Amino acid sequence: MENRAQMNLDGKVAVVTGSGRGIGRAYASALAQAGCAVVINDIDADVAGETVAAITEAGGRAVAEVVGVGSGEAADRLVGRAVEAFGRLDVMCTNAGILRDRVLWNMTDDDFDAVIETHLRGTFTCARAAVKQLRKQNDEAGEGGRKGGRIVVVSSIAGQRGNFGQTNYAAAKAGIAALARTWAMELARFEITANAIVPNALTRMVASIPGMGPIVEAAEKGEPIPEMIRKGMGLGSPEDVAPLLVFLASDAAKDVTGQAIGLGGDKLALWSHPKEVSVAYRDGGWTADQIAEVWPASVGSQLETYGIPFLSGR
């Protein structure tokens, strides 16, 4: 019963960027079902309106802010909408994203910049705007008032492992995970947590990956997702991922910060942080020849793997 009470988000307010459809919509709907008021964000006004209507018809509270994330002005609009409509902000989830997949030699500057602008810069600007509001609320709360807050950024398996044809996306998502670790240190004094979700769901974005289209199409038709996919690949529906955001927004996660946490299908995972896995020392430093001499039997005896296992063979 105590855990159930901790998941009650009544009185809390969240912004979820890119929440008109897909995983973002699932995030917003799950928050609303837990009692949280939500600002829905999308670049398509009709899509945003449909999501707001679905949430309010189910008894939840939601408003829309139609703007493309990336700029500081867009971030300020999103936070301002939350305060205008619901009086405060408690959770910022930076979910908005796009794909412009191409191999390195075919990727244009525009392909790279567009993805970095939405994913990485959009995460930075939205989190910055949110933290300014959260700190203001903390100052106004006074002794015994409600303080703290939640920054939940969205990374990806590609950002942790790399993925063929996703130079821009993998770089952005790796940077986003690093932001969560950095912000966890900076925001601890304000009782604001910062964590990265590593979602794995059958969405339109996943459907654009070669070989994944038929799987996504079958799931959208309501066909059961095979156990091999739900467990082996850790892939399920967008709704399978959403409970992780509810948990991180709740009082149960007040001491969880600086983490990258994966959820998809039936698989919940904690991702490791980058760290040294093998070291060697030589008095006076190293020459290139000395590195080559010790490499096979020392530092380089077991190299790290890379790529997403179920996609790396394509």
Average pLDDT, the chain: 93
- Tell the burial category of 152 from Cβ atoms under 10 Å away from its Cβ (0-12, 13-18, 19+): buried
Write down the domain spans for the chain: 2-270
Q: What was the pLDDT predicted at 229?
A: 87
Alpha-carbon span 65 to 40, nearest angstrom: 6
pLDDT at position 4 is 59
Q: How far apart are CA 170 and CA 156, in angstroms?
A: 8
62 CB-near residues (< 8 Å, 6+ apart)? 28, 32, 37, 38, 39, 40, 51, 52, 55, 56
Active-site residue list: 156, 169, 173
Which two structure tokens, joined as six digits, stand for 78? 């999103």
pLDDT value of position 132? 98
At 271 the pLDDT is: 97
Distances (CA, A) of 98 to 75, 204, 212, 247, 253: 17, 10, 17, 26, 29
Q: Which residues of the chain have pLDDT under 50?
A: 1-2, 313-314
Please give the CATH number for the structural domain made up of 2-270: 3.40.50.720
70-114 pLDDT tens trace: 999 999 999 999 999 999 999 999 999 999 999 999 999 999 999
**Phi, psi (deg, nearest 5) at residue 200:** -145, 95
Q: Are the beta carbons of 199 and 23 closer than 8 angstroms?
A: yes
The pLDDT value given to residue 313: 44
Rounded to whole angstroms, the Cα distance separating 89 from 3 reads: 23
